[in-house]
Amino acid sequence: MATCQTVLRDGRVLAVTATVRPRANRADVKCAVPGAPALGERMAQAVRLARLTEVRLDSRVQVVLGIDGIPGEGERNWELAAVLADRMARGAWQPPASTAPPCALGWSDAWHLGRVDGHDAPAALPAGMAPLLGGSGLPHLGALTGHADPGAAVSSVRCWFPLHSGGINDTLAWVEVAVSPLDGTESEAQGPVDEEDTIAVPGVDAAMQLAVRGALAGARHFDGRALGRWRTAVRFGEPRFTGDSYQLALVMADRLARGRDFVPRGRLIATGCSAAWHAGQVEAVAGRDAKLALILAEAHAGDRVLLPHAWRDALPPGWREALRARGASCACVEHIGLP
């Protein structure tokens, strides 16, 4: 068991613990925080995103994290402690030899870049405690081992898709794909890496995670040489929605992040799904008229719009011309880019 302490703004000292057990088809990260499920979700999200900048992947184990208290609303110093406890349990990082558990205070809005943005200073630190302080003391996770900023190796791209609910909440939502190269040195005992195990989708339910992983793994199979080369984190600006019209935007964000497609001058806005991403096919989605109206209303100069080829002959009269007048361009695609 690995333990890392943290100190809250009110001076309380909490301990984050992490244990490792065989994964056995379970989730890669489990957070046991009785009475605070939202805190458990946030802890799992931080840990999964922070793993993106690790060059090696071992998908055979599950890490179970816990914390011996409940931080107050808005308290985030525990985030760095959770990330370090996870790494200690898996042997990815070890603190200097000491009889006391290490202590860390820090938080980040971009764990997937390995960045530590800062910490909330407590009124006073317990006597004899010398914690790692996120921000000026530990600006990024690479500094733990004297390495360069790991965020330099991460390629992150956002694409947008129309989120239609039939009301005032209709909007263009974004999906972000961040990729970091794997070193490709798997042990004989571990065997080849399963592509879906390299893709983290924090903040969404299990069904959505499976759908995202399946779409990306299929689209990469179509690329020919894209499997087993990347560790990936996927984030949604609005994680609570239903439907699969996000899939083309997801796949295009992944292709752009991996340098497999041309970057538009503005945003890339896409809608479409597929039951055969492994063949590169793009299929139509429901809600065509409402989504076209939303895209037209939200498009800006330089934006590139990708629509299913099945919509080409059903576009409203004057729609393309109105989009072009806003400085945006449009293509109706039957396949994603050829490998």
Location of structure tokens 């070193």? 183
Instruction: Identify the segments of the chain with pLDDT beneath 70.
Output: 99, 184-193, 338-339
Location of structure tokens 């752009």? 256
Burial class (CB in 10 A: 0-12, 13-18, 19+), 315: middle
**Dist. CA 67–CA 190, nearest whole Å:** 30
Residue 145's pLDDT is 87
Q: What fold, for 2-148?
A: Ribosomal Protein S5; domain 2 (3.30.230)
C-alpha distance from residue 209 to each of 52, 67, 95, 158, 240 (Å): 16, 25, 33, 18, 12
**Dist. CA 49–CA 234, nearest whole Å:** 9
Class of domain 154-333 (CATH, top level): alpha beta
**Dist. CA 28–CA 44, nearest whole Å:** 9
Buried b (16+ CB within 10 A) or exposed e, 52-84: bbbeebbeeebbbbbbeeebeeebbbbbbbbbb
* Helix or strand run (H / E) with residue 83: helix 78-90
Residue 190's pLDDT is 54
Q: pLDDT tens digits, residue range 281-304? A: 999 999 999 999 999 999 999 999
**Dist. CA 85–CA 310, nearest whole Å:** 50
Angle at 69 between CA 68 and CA 72, to 5 degrees: 155
DSSP, res 279: G
Location of structure tokens 């894209």? 226
Name, in order, each residue with C-beta under 8 angstroms of 31's C-beta and a sequence gap of 6 or more: 39, 40, 41, 43, 44, 47, 64, 65, 66
Residue extent(s) of CATH 3.30.230.10 domains in the chain: 154-333
* Helix or strand run (H / E) with residue 222: helix 206-223
Whole-angstrom distance between the N-terminal and C-terminal Cα of the chain?
Answer: 45
What are the structure tokens assigned to 136, written together?
A: 């000026």
Residue 196's pLDDT is 84
**In this structure, are residues 148 and 37 in contact, taking their beta carbons and an 8 Å threshold?**
no
Buried b (16+ CB within 10 A) or exposed e, 227-246: eebbbbbbbbeeeebeebbb
**Dist. CA 255–CA 261, nearest whole Å:** 6
Which of 142, 137, 161, 162 has the alpha carbon at shortest distance from 152? 142
Sign of the CA dihedral 176, 179, 195, 204? Answer: negative
